[in-house]
Amino acid sequence: MYEDLTDKMLIDFLNLGRVNAPYEPAIREAIERVLRSGYYILGEETAAFEREFASYCGVKHCVGVANGLDALHLILRAYGIGPGHEVIVPANTFIATWLAVSLVGARIVPVEPDELSWNIAPERIEEAITPRTRAIMPVHLYGAPADMDAIREIAQRHHLRVIEDAAQAHGARYRGLRAGSLGDAAGFSFYPGKNLGALGDGGAITTSDDDLAEHLRKLRNYGSSIKYQHDVAGVNSRLDEMQSAVLRVKLQHLDADNARRAAVADSYREALADTPVELIRIPDKAQSIWHLFVVRTPRRDALRDYLTSRGIGTQIHYPVPCHRQGAFAHQAWPELPVTERLQSQILSLPMSPYLSADDVAYVAAQVKAFFA
Ligand SMILES: *Cc1c(COP(=O)(O)O)cnc(C)c1O
């Protein structure tokens, strides 16, 4: 396990204590406010966070839920997508995107990534559509919005829902609009390592669809909007008051944190421009929030070992593609050679708001030294 090396690292892949350190006094105050309120589930903090996050994303509604996976699968359920239906997803994504589809009993239809953006290739979506297709679920991978104009145009022509997996894209923009407002509905995760991270699990759905939001408010709370009256067979998936209060603090600083990440990314891009590593292409019209800084090289494993020996923490997002995971490997899948090649060549360098110019220069210098 690479985690074992953390205390020997000069530059951690990610240290969440350091991410949260600047907000400690405000977070403490928020937690104490909740503690004293005596109200811990579906109270004023969650209602306020939902208003603030909806406004931030530029949508009418935000519905807090327990995590990002629930956000995605509850959207599918609320739209009545289930057995006999198909949902198009990127082949190159975190497994939660796929699990959301399998949880509602629909068929997962993976589509290969574009060779340059490493995200779902719009020109390959159309050939995957059948009469059973109900939705496309693009992922704003590594913080960069997918090619949404192309995806929405295809969806409109085929009468499909567009459900954004925005778990890596809090604050990202496409044509100036925020992730979370680019489709019919979006699922967010507030897992601690995300750009807007809680101190535990959390998630949210954003949408401007009034009926969908109302249905989701019931679904997440035992199918109930009036206490002890259960209109549908719902689930228990709520964002709690404590996490909501913490997220309200961190939301105020999200744009500043994302701007620091963008500065780190700019420095990396400049410093690595004349090395053999390939860098991600951000689609025109898109503004990434740099959830991850991923480089690509056929010498990935050797580069990773070299950086580890130099005290630099790295990760692979993700080392095994979804269709090769035990959860899905027994099913028949189309050939996915682009995904498999990509997954054997990608490496995530340290990326966080607190990285200094010296940190970034050190990492870049070690990457250069490896190829020298
Ligand atoms: C983190 C993540 C999720 C799931 O979020 P959880 O809160 O961990 O359930 C879904 N999709 C993507 C792309 C993610 O990165």
Ligand 1: atom nearest CA of 141 is 13
166 lines ligand 1 (CB under 6 A): no
What's the pLDDT band for 2 if we cut at 50, 70, 90?
A: very low
pLDDT of residue 4: 47
**6 pLDDT more than 70:** no
Query: Over 84-111, what HEC string results?
Result: CCEEEEECCCCHHHHHHHHHCCCEEEEE
Percentage of the residues of the chain whose pLDDT score is greater than 90: 96
**225 pLDDT more than 50:** yes
What does the pLDDT look like over 278-312, one tens digit per residue? 999 998 899 999 999 999 999 999 999 999 999 99
Strand, helix or coil at 228?
coil
Which residues, 6 or more positions from 46, have their beta carbon under 8 angstroms from its beta carbon? 64, 238, 239, 240, 241, 244
Query: Over 4-44, what HEC string results?
Result: HHHHHCCECCCCHHHHHHHHHHHHHHHHHHHHHHCCCECCH
What does the pLDDT look like over 146-202, one tens digit per residue? 999 999 999 999 999 999 999 999 999 999 999 999 999 999 999 999 999 999 999
Which structure tokens are listed for 60? Answer: 């009418």
pLDDT of residue 9: 84
pLDDT of residue 284: 87
98 lines ligand 1 (CB under 6 A): no
Contact 92, 315 (CB under 8 A): no
DSSP category for residue 252 = T
pTM: predicted TM-score of the whole model, two decimal places:
0.97
Q: 233 vs 73, 83, 345, 356, CA distance in Å?
A: 15, 17, 44, 50
Mean pLDDT, the chain, rounded, equals: 96
- Measured in Å, residue 69 CA sits from the centre of ligand 1 at 6
Pocket test for ligand 1, best of 69, 70, 289 (most atoms within 8 A of CB): 69
pLDDT of residue 8: 67
Tell me which H or E stretch contains 196: none
| DSSP state string for 211-225 | HHHHHHHHHTBTTEE
Contact 212, 227 (CB under 8 A): no
Percentage of the residues of the chain whose pLDDT score is greater than 70: 98
What does the pLDDT look like over 226-257, one tens digit per residue? 999 999 999 999 999 999 999 999 999 999 99
Backbone angles phi, psi at 97, to 5 degrees: -60, -45
191 lines ligand 1 (CB under 6 A): yes
